[in-house]
Amino acid sequence: MAAEQRKLLEQLMGAGASSRHAQLSLSDPKVCRSYLVGICPHDLFTNTKQDLGPCPKVHSEPLKTEYETAADKSKHGFEYDYMRDMQKYIDECNRRIDAAQRRLEKTPDEIRQTNDL
What per-residue confidence (pLDDT) applies to 102? 86
Query: Does residue 37 contact residue 80 with C-beta atoms inside 8 Å?
Result: no
The 10s digit of each residue's pLDDT in 38-54 is 888 888 888 888 888 88
Q: How far is CA 18 from CA 7, 15, 27, 53, 106, in A?
A: 11, 7, 19, 24, 57
Cα distance between residue 88 and residue 92, in whole Å: 6
Flag whether pLDDT at 2 surpasses 70. Answer: no
53: left (phi over 0), alpha (psi -120 to 50) or beta: left
What pTM does this model have?
0.63
Paired strand residues for 58: 31
